[in-house]
Amino acid sequence: MARELRLGVNIDHVATIRNARGGRHPDPVRAARLAAKAGADGITAHLREDRRHISDDDIQRLSDQIELPLNLEMAATPEMLEIALRHQPHAACIVPEKREELTTEGGLDAVGGRDHLAGYVAALSDRGIRVSLFIDPDAAQLETACELGAPVVELHTGTYCEVEGAARERELARLVEAAARAETLGLECHAGHGLSFDTVGPVAAIPTVVELNIGHFLVGEAIFGGFESAITRMRALMDKARADAASARSA
Ligand code: PXP
């Protein structure tokens, strides 16, 4: 059975544009309000160690002013844990983070970092924060996420989006297989990174994926047609792909 598919709008790059000049414009909190109006089910923000986009003040204002669930993307560090416990977002997605990377490159190594991650998953879960691990579509990573007691995994769609042709089909097959494995393990399955109007459909069609987190493309598209219209179109493409896949399965 296909489940509801939620859209989490990542507003990091609204902050990137603001920070290019300093000041308050464009305001990621205003973008979050607009995203809610346009059909987002949640707001995602990544507070990076170097604060290159989202700031501590953004997290404070998002927590105070936004009614949609907040999904805080965070590295597994003591500083970020303290911030997450203080703000108590609805969800925390643990991501790998390297200072020099342009964006989150590849998923978290839950297998290699298992002992380190265990305390973070437990501390966040104890405070009622829904923990998700951002991992590559890989069976060993999924199994470790399950053993760590994380209720959610987010599958990294970056490689699927970057490659083309047969390679993209292979990456899609990995995502489909991993999403099915997540369901068998009792893990809620999300997906995200790099998704665009062109790449979202096949991922939205995977019946056990229940949430997509999308940011950079939407903020880029906003330049040409507006943020609200980009989100509305993304939402429509997701819903159509989902509905078409469900009717193809039942035919
Ligand atoms: N999901 C996670 C865990 C991420 O780290 C990111 C990027 O911050 C996204 C989704 C969204 O990726 P994009 O901005 O490429 O849509």
Give per-residue pLDDT as tens, 128-165: 999 999 999 999 999 999 999 999 999 999 999 999 99
Residue 241 pLDDT greater than 80, yes or no: yes
Distance of alpha carbon 220 from the chain centroid: 17
Contact 76, 116 (CB under 8 A): yes
Indicate which residues carry an active-site annotation: 46, 73, 193
**Whose C-alpha lies nearest to ligand 1, atom 5?**
104
Residue 1 pLDDT greater than 70, yes or no: no
> Rounded to the nearest whole angstrom, what is the distance from the C-alpha of residue 82 to the centroid of ligand 1?
22
Residues 104-134 pLDDT 10s: 678 999 999 999 999 999 999 999 999 999 9
Contact 88, 129 (CB under 8 A): yes
**Whose C-alpha lies nearest to ligand 1, atom 4?**
193
Name the band, by pLDDT with cuts 50, 70 and 90, for residue 98: confident
Name the band, by pLDDT with cuts 50, 70 and 90, for residue 234: very high
The domain in which residue 238 lies consists of: 6-250
Residues 21-42 pLDDT 10s: 999 999 999 999 999 999 999 9
Residue 63 pLDDT greater than 60, yes or no: yes
> Rounded to the nearest whole angstrom, what is the distance from the C-alpha of residue 122 to the centroid of ligand 1?
23
What pLDDT was estimated at residue 100?
63
> Rounded to the nearest whole angstrom, what is the distance from the C-alpha of residue 195 to the centroid of ligand 1?
9
Q: Best mutation site among 14, 190, 193 for ligand 1, i.e. most ligand atoms within 8 A of its Cβ?
A: 193
In a domain, residue 122? The reply is yes
In a domain, residue 189? The reply is yes
Nearest atom within ligand 1 for CA of residue 194: 15
Q: Best mutation site among 70, 93, 216 for ligand 1, i.e. most ligand atoms within 8 A of its Cβ?
A: 216
> Rounded to the nearest whole angstrom, what is the distance from the C-alpha of residue 251 to the centroid of ligand 1?
34
> Rounded to the nearest whole angstrom, what is the distance from the C-alpha of residue 143 to the centroid of ligand 1?
22
| Domains contained in the chain, number | 1
Question: Residue 45: which of 30, 58, 27 has the closest Cα?
Answer: 58
Q: What are the distances in angstroms from CA 17 to CA 23, 72, 232?
A: 10, 20, 22
In a domain, residue 1? The reply is no
In a domain, residue 68? The reply is yes
The token duo for 14 is 């609204």
Question: Mean pLDDT over all residues of the chain?
Answer: 96
Q: What pTM, to 2 d.p., does this model score?
A: 0.96
Which residues sit with their C-beta closer than 6 Å to ligand 1?
Answer: 10, 12, 46, 73, 93, 95, 103-104, 134, 154, 192-195, 213-217
> What CATH number has the domain bearing residue 238?
3.20.20.70
Q: Which residues contact 118 (CB under 8 A, 6 or more apart)?
A: 148
For residues 143-177, one letter each, b for 16 or more C-beta atoms within 10 angstroms of the residue's C-beta and e for the rest, the string is ebbbebebbbbbbbbbbbbeeeeeebeebbebbbe
What pLDDT was estimated at residue 68?
97
